[in-house]
Chains A and B, each alone.
Chain A
């Protein structure tokens, strides 16, 4: 019964970002993406990073994922430093990034196949479990190009969840979807987060989306990328993105965002 054991969620991880700086230099152009950024994210917390483009929020996510290195400072999960990608932290991107040479089940199996200690049957059982969780169990034999944008992101979510990570990193995963599909996915993501107990770091520039999903919304400003303010979202779940209470939070945060980026508006495009 390794299959059932495999499905038990591990304790979600605590993330610590300590004094992280990162600078990108290409030719004569230098972008100060992150400037001495520190952030604590608790076990099982859902944190949204919000800010205009170029504020370093995606860079921070990539650093947590281990896809990029810091120039200074450190990032750790439960006290152990991060230097490379690891199976305890799975990532979702704005493009689903599904592999077209595999069918839906094959895509969900990709990460699972790299996880030791499971038989082939168990891997398939686990993959099917997550496809059920995102509501796509009927599409396991479908080809990637046959899926809609929303379905692709659901498969990407199943693929990220399948190796049973402790942290889920999401880089504007719903940015390219239509509003209706997005709203469905907000519901699904909240349900899955409640069910699977993951620490989630979610990057977006959509303030409403951040308020709808996050326990906490962290506001970034660009040039150099810094954390400006944090908002704890004290609303019952599951949240509806169209609710009035949510809109009230969003208005406040948007005002703050405008305030912080007012001076350097033209430089926003420097990402």
Chain B
């Protein structure tokens, strides 16, 4: 309770100082608008639906590419851990491409898919899939051999061992790979939306971009706040349950 009061107090003070400095005209409102005007923008755009609409478009792109990336990356990671040939080929490709910010795919994606949802999907997919492959492969290869041996003596074979032993045993790695993939995908999608106009829909990145073009800094900051909020929400909704489970089971919580 005390911690909550302190936290709220800290942010309230911050906002009050910011607001009073802005009102006192210490800097031009064009450079940094007051929190009040940002709040007004957020209120208005929430009411007329632009903010929700843009968030929805962005989230849909993100989720589609992300889910596809996980779905493809997880089995590919398992295969890469299983087959030496794949480790020497796909594993190397994944390692290399993982270091490439996936926004670098935008020029090619535009060429291949046009200014379409397909291009956005591809960029998000590229942001997710390599991290996922590497994390899964790494996870499987870090499983203590005793787990597989114990499972073998208990009658576990082949696919059962993969799905019931190696995969759950590498869960800590897989979840951190999912988190990293999410971070890569989210950043790349934002960058892509800011610098490419996609005809399929008007996302948060576009909203931010037009805020800049219109010199409406309260819109820019309002959209940034929205992006932060979605990031936090994703962390809480998508990853916290997994992390809580891992901490509880593995005993890794502080």
Contact = CB atoms under 8 A, between A and B. Distances in A.
Interface of A: 65-67, 85-87, 89-91, 93, 95, 97, 99-103, 110-111, 114-115, 143-146, 159, 163
Contact of A85 (B153, B160, B169, B251): B153
Contacts of A99: 147, 150, 165, 168-169
Contacts of B146: 93, 95, 97
B24 interface: no
A93 B248 CA distance: 25
Interface of B: 144, 146-147, 149-156, 160, 164-165, 168-169, 171, 248-251
A69 to B, nearest CB: 14
Report whether over half of chain A's contact residues are helix, strand or loop; otherwise say mixed: loop
B155 A89 contact: no
A143 B248 CA distance: 8
Given A89-B153, A99-B165, A114 B160 contact: yes
Contacts of B250: 100-101, 143, 145
B156 A114 contact: yes
Contact of B251 (A95, A114, A146, A159): A146
Given A85-B155, A91-B149, 16 more contacts: A67-B153, A85-B152, A87-B155, A90-B153, A90-B154, A97-B144, A97-B146, A97-B149, A97-B150, A99-B169, A100-B249, A101-B249, A114-B154, A114-B156, A115-B155, A143-B251
A143 B237 CA distance: 24
16 contacts: A85-B153, A87-B154, A91-B150, A97-B146, A99-B150, A100-B250, A100-B251, A101-B169, A101-B171, A110-B154, A114-B156, A143-B249, A145-B249, A145-B250, A146-B251, A159-B154
A146 B250 CA distance: 9
B154 A111 contact: yes
Nearest to B156: A114
A101 B153 CA distance: 19
Contacts of B155: 85-87, 111, 114-115, 163
